[in-house]
């Protein structure tokens, strides 16, 4: 048995620093701490994170060494085992703050809203020179600070935002936001990165180690990897093959977001190579024209509206480009309409769930609920059993009811036919 000798890696400490005042993210942050410079394509996630921080009112950036973090140490060992090149490795934590703590605040707990987020950039030796990537990042749900409160940058919904603890300048902050990480092409590909994002979106601080995910990926389809990983974490999964009916796909995606279960969109790109896109939430633009959810319905149409008809974008994390992008329903419809000519073909929706399986799709459940609601409203109206102004409104405007489909857990004493 031949034992592979590991190349020597030297850990280089990054000096603490502070960037504030009139500064440039491009030159003073990304160019300084990204091995390939701010213009490198791989730097897209860090550039995206800096752009979000600017929109959210950042006024100072703290730079600290992150080599002593246990997760970083494990990642370095995993990278080294898969590397044939020796050299220097660094890890730097970049914290984005709305305000630095003053001397008077030194003895008080920090104001959590001041931390916008924190990103750890890991740089390792590679055959063509040192490479950097976003090892992990926590970013607050995008909002700006106005008159003593946070105001969302857009009308968005991110049900799976978790509270993460991060330390900066020796002070601990609680950050309500989403987790992000970038693929590095060595120990972490798209599958590993996307599953880390999805699982941490559900569980918070816990995670699946990259080395275990790498073993799971070998010689297996992307569907098998996702299903096995979720099962090992105690989750079930539902699979929805995407056909030409964009309405059903969109309704299913939105229903799982409403339920707090961030679904995974599987797309096929060049060479039929599958990629996973985690979906964390949705946005609602009240100025957008939604004729499907506003115009009167004909007699042969359903007697209700789906709330998904008002949702125009979902929020995604792209493991190559960065966090908090918006994917439009129009894009999904356009790519499905192109058929074989599509450059990026949406193929599958996979929803992690906390029960073993849901045997009825959200689309069918919504249709059944709409039909049942219409039936019982008519029956109750016939016997004059309903009272109150809201009953009067429902009985007179039943055809304009809007349904929001949500998955709920069932107690053992009340078993649900749909879940078991």
Please choose, from the candidates 163, 149, 207, the residue with its C-alpha nearest in 3D space to the C-alpha of residue 181. 207
**pLDDT of 212:** 63
Q: Report the chain's terminal Cα–Cα distance, integer Å.
A: 50
| pLDDT, position 418 | 43
Highest-pLDDT range among 129-143, 192-206, 253-267: 129-143
Angle at 148 between CA 143 and CA 151, to 5 degrees: 25
Q: Which position has the higher pLDDT, 264 or 219?
A: 264
Q: Which of 42-46, 207-211, 334-338 shows the lowest mean pLDDT across its residues?
A: 207-211
Q: At residue 9, what are phi and psi to the nearest 5 degrees?
A: -115, 135
What is the reported pTM?
Answer: 0.85
pLDDT per residue over 327-344, tens digit each?
A: 998 888 888 777 667 778
90-105 pLDDT, tens per residue? 999 999 999 887 766 6
Place of tokens 């055809």: 399
Res 348: pLDDT? 83
Residue 260 has pLDDT above 80, yes or no: no
- Ramachandran angles phi, psi of 332, nearest 5°: -60, -45
Q: What is the model's pLDDT at position 76?
A: 93
pLDDT at 376 over 50: yes
**Is residue 119 within 8 Å of residue 134, measured between CB atoms?**
yes
**Residue 417 has what pLDDT?**
44
Q: Locate 413 and state its tokens.
A: 């004493």
Q: Which helix (H) or strand (E) holds 156?
A: strand 156-157
- Alpha-carbon span 30 to 46, nearest angstrom: 7
What mean pLDDT, rounded, does the chain reach? 82
Closest CA to 89 of 132, 30, 48: 132
In the prediction, which pLDDT does 301 show? 52
């Amino acid at each position: 048995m031949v034992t592979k000798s590991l190349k020597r890696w030297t850990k280089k400490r990054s000096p603490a620093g502070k960037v504030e005042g009139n500064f440039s993210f491009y030159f003073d942050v990304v160019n300084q701490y990204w091995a390939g410079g701010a213009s490198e394509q791989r730097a897209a996630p860090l550039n995206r994170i800096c752009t979000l921080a600017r929109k959210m009112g950042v006024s100072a950036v703290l730079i600290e060494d992150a080599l002593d973090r246990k997760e970083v140490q494990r990642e370095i060992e995993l990278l080294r085992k898969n590397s044939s090149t020796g050299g220097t490795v660094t890890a730097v934590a970049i914290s984005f703050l709305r305000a630095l703590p003053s001397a008077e605040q030194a003895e008080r707990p920090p104001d959590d809203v001041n931390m916008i987020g924190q990103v750890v950039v890991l740089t390792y030796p590679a055959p063509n020179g040192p490479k950097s990537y976003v090892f992990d990042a926590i970013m607050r749900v995008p909002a700006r600070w106005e008159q003593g409160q946070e105001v969302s940058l857009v009308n968005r919904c991110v049900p799976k935002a978790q509270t993460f603890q991060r330390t900066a300048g020796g002070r601990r902050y609680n950050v309500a936001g989403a987790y992000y990480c970038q693929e590095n092409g060595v120990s972490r590909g798209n599958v590993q990165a996307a599953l880390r994002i999805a699982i941490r979106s559900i569980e918070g601080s816990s995670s699946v180690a990259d080395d275990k995910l790498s073993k799971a990926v070998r010689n297996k389809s992307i569907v098998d990897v996702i299903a096995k990983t979720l099962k090992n974490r105690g989750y079930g999964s539902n699979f929805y093959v995407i056909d030409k009916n964009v309405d059903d796909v969109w309704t299913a995606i939105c229903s799982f977001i409403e339920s707090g279960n961030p679904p995974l969109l599987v797309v096929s790109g060049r060479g039929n190579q599958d990629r996973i896109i985690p979906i964390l939430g949705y946005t609602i633009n009240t100025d957008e024209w939604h004729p499907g959810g506003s115009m009167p319905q004909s007699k042969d149409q359903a007697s209700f509206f789906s709330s998904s008809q008002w949702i125009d974008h979902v929020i995604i994390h792209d493991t190559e480009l960065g966090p908090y992008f918006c994917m439009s329903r129009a894009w999904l419809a356009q790519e499905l309409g192109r058929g074989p000519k599509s450059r990026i073909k949406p193929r599958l929706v996979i929803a992690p769930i906390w029960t073993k399986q849901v045997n009825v799709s959200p689309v069918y459940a919504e249709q059944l609920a709409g039909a049942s609601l219409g039936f019982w409203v008519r029956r109750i109206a016939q016997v004059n059993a309903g009272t109150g102004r809201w009953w009067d409104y429902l009985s007179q405007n039943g055809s304009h009811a809007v349904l929001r489909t949500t998955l709920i857990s069932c107690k053992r004493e009340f078993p649900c036919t749909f879940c078991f």
